[in-house]
Structure 1
Amino acid sequence: MTTTTVTRTSAAVEQSRPRRQLSTAGRRRIAVALTLAGLIVGALFAGAPVLWMVFSSLKANPEIFAYPPQLITENSSLAPYLAILNDSRQLRFFLNSYVVSLAVAGLTLLVAVHAAYAFSRYDFPGKSIINIAVISVQAVPPITLLIPYFGLVVALGLYNTYPGLILTYMVFTLPYAIIMMTGYFNTLPRELDEAARVDGTSSFGALWRILIPIAIPGMVSVGMYTFMIAWNEYLFALTLTRTDDMRTVPIGIQLLMGQHSYDWNQMMAMSVLGSLPVILLFIFFQRYFIGGMTSGSVKN
């Protein structure tokens, strides 16, 4: 009796296992399906305004607000883009944005790499205080500094100039860049520096010959972030510039808003053209960008 009961119990257990396995697999499929559904909804929520912007840039102004709305109309054309590309004033806005954004990204990287190397590899008096100061600057809302920086830029004679915009933007990009690059350098073994110095290379040489080539992913991610900040910034660009020769793309879009009418199609077209540099940067460098962001956050 006992042997028979044990045998039957074992058989029942063996028969119930596949059912539990199927149940677990079913729950996993449901979880995956729900996750995909959530991602699709999120993508549509985030992408729908972008698609509407693209299609609106091809329409005439009255068609943008037609009801029921249509993505493509009979009068869709590239006329708004041609109007912008044939306007030297609008092209100047793009030139200014490229000059300022590239300069901010390059100078921020140059300063941040050396500062981060010092924070990562050396102990010096006041290191903790300086580190706290860097983080504190990152925590200050930029709008609270608008009036002080306006007065400072005017006093230094940098109002309505490239250096005025570049130096102002670097105040907000440098803290993030230093923090990220310090975290990235902390993930690199110190033995690399020691081996370079054993071979007779200075600390400066070890940084440029050994560490910087390895830290390219982190530098790319920081450079992309600082470029996007400078490219999209509106408030300081509006306050610290006066003439169209110094205006940037966000200000150029705002200037298309007239007193009695808005050029909506040209605003949308300029928004599309203004988004392309950031989109292309992310497409070409996303591998380095994601790698740099994750590596820089592993060890601090």
Structure 2
Amino acid sequence: MASTGIQARMINEERQQRWRRFGIYAALTIVTIILVFPILWMISVSLKPTTETFSLPPRLLPEEFHWGGYAKVLSDPKFRTFLINSYIVGLAVTFLSLVIGTLAAFGFSRYRFFGDRVAKLFVITTQMVPTITLLIPYFGVIVFLGLYDTLWGLILTYLTFALPYSIVMMNGYLDTIPKDFDEAATIDGCSPLGVLVRVLLPVAVPGIISTAVYTFLLAWNEFLFALALTRSMEMRTVPVGISMMVGEFGLKWDEMMAFSVIGSLPVLVLFMLVQRFVVGGLSAGGVKG
């Protein structure tokens, strides 16, 4: 009798686990569809003529694949200029924020000095200020420095946004690395910079990659400051270029979505290649040693 009751409870628990597992998978499937559908629709619209975009009922797959939007975008020099500018700004911001942020994080993580807690708090609080409130001050500073309508103006502006995150992220990751590594390397004759370069950075690769991905995405996707701090077509970036495709009397949806797809590809490919490192870096960086 007792064995029958135990067996019934086991069957009931197994049934509950199956339903719980089914609910989790169903929720994940719904969320995935919600997140992926805009991307699929963007690709679909880029392959349709404008007249078919608003057909009823709407169709995800076009009746006939239309490559005119991609041909127009790829053959237009100004769109290539937008892509090149975004690459230059994104890579420059990523490199500078990694170099400066890693050095600052190394100082915060391995040394104690007067006002270090205040400095850390200041770095963190800069992330809490809404960026739109800084538009006019940044505009004045960039104009005063003579960097208006230049890529250097965008790089400097984006660097001030990305650098605090880089410092916080790398500081959290370096804190998880035992200081015994530093002591062993110092005994072997390494300088502080040698400890950072030869010992800590190879171990901190996941944190470096996750920080690099974030800073590159920030610079690649930013729109407001790129619009306000540039004027000429030669200095525009991809987000601003997409917005400029909205005409006064019409909108060529196939060209706009084609350029959006082309502009999104670097981000998607980058994230797919380093996804494992990004997840590892973010989880490790959130744990204090």
- Give yes or no for TM over 0.5: yes
Shift of 1:13: 1.5
Q: Which moved more, 1:232-241 or 1:13-22?
A: 13-22
How far apart in 2 are the matches of 1:132 and 1:294?
A: 21
The one of 273, 280, 288 equivalent to 1:291 is: 280
Distance 1:186 1:74 in 2: 56
What residue is the counterpart of 1:162 in the other structure? 151
**How many percent of aligned residue pairs carry the same amino acid?**
46
Q: How many residues of Structure 1 are paired with residues of Structure 2 in the alignment?
A: 289
In the alignment, which residue of structure 2 is the partner of 1:59?
48
Q: Which residue of 4, 11, 22 maps to 1:33?
A: 22
Which is further off, 42-51 or 224-233?
42-51
Shift of 1:121: 0.4
Spell out the pairing of 1:151-190 with structure 2 (5 A cutoff).
151-190=140-179
Alignment partner of 1:249 is 2:235: no
The yes-or-no answer on 1:116 pairing with 2:105 is yes
State the match for 1:275 in structure 2. 264
After superposition, the C-alpha distances for 1:37-81 in whole angstroms (9 at most, x for unaligned) are: 001111111111111110100011111011111223334221111
Question: Which deviations, in whole Å up to 9, do the C-alpha atoms of 1:67-118 show, x marking residues without a partner?
Answer: 1112233342211111100000111000000000010011000011000000
Residue in structure 1 matched with residue 60 of structure 2 by the alignment: 71
- Give unmatched runs, 5+ long, in structure 2: none
In 2, Cα distance between equivalents of 1:244 and 1:215: 40
Which one is further off, 72-81 or 37-46?
A: 72-81
Structure 2 Cα separation of the partners of residues 245 and 73 of structure 1:
34
2 CA distance for matches of 1:98 and 1:179? 25
Which of 130, 144, 151 is the aligned partner of 2:133? 144
Query: Which of 245, 262, 266 matches 2:251?
Result: 262
TM-score with structure 2 setting the length: 0.98
Secondary structure of the 2:247 match is coil
How many Å apart are 1:15 and its aligned residue? 1.4
Structure-2 separation of matches of 1:272 and 1:137: 33
Q: Secondary structure at the match of 2:233?
A: coil
1:5 counterpart residue number: none
Match of 1:84 among 58, 68, 73: 73
- Give the superposition deviation at 1:126: 1.2
Normalising to structure 1: TM-score of the pair? 0.95
2:94 is matched with: 105
Instruction: Provide the rounded CA distance (Å) in 2 between the counterparts of 1:73 and 1:54.
Output: 10
* 1:222 equivalent in alignment to 2:211: yes
Hey, which bits of structure 1, 4+ residues long, moved more than 2 A?
Answer: 71-76
Deviation at 1:163, TM superposition (A): 1.2
Q: Does 1:96 align with 2:96?
A: no
Letter in 2 for 1:270: F
Mapped partners of 1:144, 1:73: distance in 2 = 43
Q: C-alpha separation between the residues in 1 aligned to 2:270 and 2:61?
A: 28
Which residue matches 1:4? none
SS in 2 for 1:245: helix
Offset from partner CA, 1:133-177 (integer Å, 9 cap, x none): 101111100000000000000000010111110110011111111
1:16 matches 2:5: yes
State the Cα deviation string for residues 225-275 of structure 1 (Å, max 9, x = none): 000011000000000000010000000001110110111111111111111
Match of 1:8 in 2: none
